[in-house]
Amino acid sequence: MNRFSFHSLFLLLFSVSGFTPYTGAQIIESVDAGRGAVTVQVSDNYVPGEAAPLLLLLHGRAWDGDSMEGLFELTQEANNRGYIYCYPDGLATFTGVRYWNATNACCCEGFPFTSCEDDVGYLTNLIAVLADTYSIDPTQIHLIGHSNGGFMAHRMACERSDLITSIISVSGMTWSDPANCNPTEPVPVLQVHGTIDPIIFYGGGILGAGVYPSAQETCETWASLNGCSATPTTLANLNLTSASGAETEVLRWGDNCSGQGTVELWSMTGTGHLPNFNNTWRTMIFDFMETAATPPVLFTRGDSNGDQSINISDVVTTLNYLFGGGPLDCLEAANSNGDGSLDLSDGVYLLLHLFAGGTAPPAPHPDCGQGPTLIDCASTLCP
């Protein structure tokens, strides 16, 4: 299907479903990185000379940037949070099918009428052009990709980890052979995938000229590359789609990661290749990107008062915060049992550890380090 007919069908379907495009006050401009005009949305909060975060949205095969934004509807959130936001087009075959040259599975090798150009080079150049045109914060350059665009986001993280702050891949995997991915720095990765995706299988598959790993194997690869502990933490389910209930299961590889290299897998139960995301999803993916750009907070779990030792005074500090309104700089340090909430059970847990041979608090413990911050930690407690 050519670009015109696909895009027209897409807009027709959304007009029937009641879709209303966001019509905020951001400025619509364009840049050219060698392949023609690329739409750029400049937040109405943008001030020239003040560094702004950058977001690139990479479309799936047979889509284009405009239609991908029409599905994901990131414009309003990007504008509200002050982003420079653009959604480039991949090259097109003579039949009008656009694609990215990502991995050997998707979507150039083994696909008809493709030329397999250097898309890593193109996107790198696009980011450079945007940085020359606008004031871009080099510590906040993020990619979101769907399907083929997700594969491409992974490849960019593998080859340009020095440039990319974080990636979010929806229905797109990394290389099946981890040897093809050699980042020089940790990259936070969020993998979002429907469990009944009929196009890019949740459990991995064969496509193009290669195979691709499962969603969990993709995350395990990145967790290893980022130096994270191999065992993920299970977090509370999320409600990210129009379906009723919290359909999305969450795994996080966050212990002992290098830098900010947390990896998360959001598995959307009963969801296919084109999720109907709600606004919670949009809020949470921007939260993920902004957390990825924040320097990691270091603490020792159980050391509530931050005096570099764990004793009865830490229990007193926690209880005074809970019931006496006392100060507490790092709630996560006081979350002794690591369950993602701070309550009386944390004081009891630490007392049992100190005086009754109970289980020690989970990492980071007994040494100071980086751990998953599930509640809050306003300041580093390590020397």
**In sequence order, what are the residues at sequence separation of 6 or more whose Cβ sits closer than 8 angstroms to the Cβ of residue 88?**
33, 35, 38, 56, 58, 65, 123, 126
Residues 194-223 pLDDT 10s: 999 999 999 999 999 999 999 999 999 999
46 and 166 co-located in one domain: yes
Residue 383 lies in a domain: no
Same domain, 218 and 361: no
- CATH number where 154 lies: 3.40.50.1820
Question: Tell me, what CATH number does 338's domain have?
Answer: 1.10.1330.10
Q: Are both 43 and 163 inside the same structural domain?
A: yes
Whether 19 is in a domain gets the answer yes
Q: 246, 266, 292 — which closes off a domain?
A: 292
Q: Which long-range contacts (CB under 8 A, 24 or more apart) does 94-98 make?
A: 95/2, 96/1, 96/2, 96/3, 96/4, 96/6, 97/1, 97/2, 97/61, 97/62, 98/3, 98/59, 98/61, 98/62, 98/63, 98/64
Taking 3-state DSSP, the helix, strand and coil percentages for the chain, each rounded to the nearest 5, stand at: 30, 20, 50
Residues 189 and 226 occupy one common structural domain: yes
Residue 272 belongs to domain spanning: 3-292
For residues 341 and 287, membership in a common domain is answered with no
- Considering only the C-alpha atoms of the chain, give the largest distance between any 2 of them, rounded to a whole number of Å: 73
Beta-sheet strands, E only, within the chain:
27-32, 37-42, 52-58, 84-86, 91-92, 98-99, 136-146, 166-170, 189-194, 205-207, 210-212, 233-238, 248-253, 263-268, 298-299, 369-370
380 found inside a domain: no
- 379 belongs to a structural domain: no
* Domain membership flag for residue 213: yes
pLDDT tens, the chain, 383 aa long: 333 333 434 433 433 343 344 445 678 999 999 999 999 999 999 999 999 999 999 999 999 999 999 999 999 999 999 999 999 999 999 999 999 999 999 999 999 999 999 999 999 999 999 999 999 999 999 999 999 999 999 999 999 999 999 999 999 999 999 999 999 999 999 999 999 999 999 999 999 999 999 999 999 999 999 999 999 999 999 999 987 789 999 999 988 888 889 999 999 999 999 999 999 999 999 999 998 887 777 889 999 998 999 999 999 999 999 999 999 988 999 999 988 889 999 999 999 999 999 999 998 899 888 766 677 887 767 77
As for how many domains the chain has, the answer is 2
Amino acid identity of residue 89, one-letter, is: D
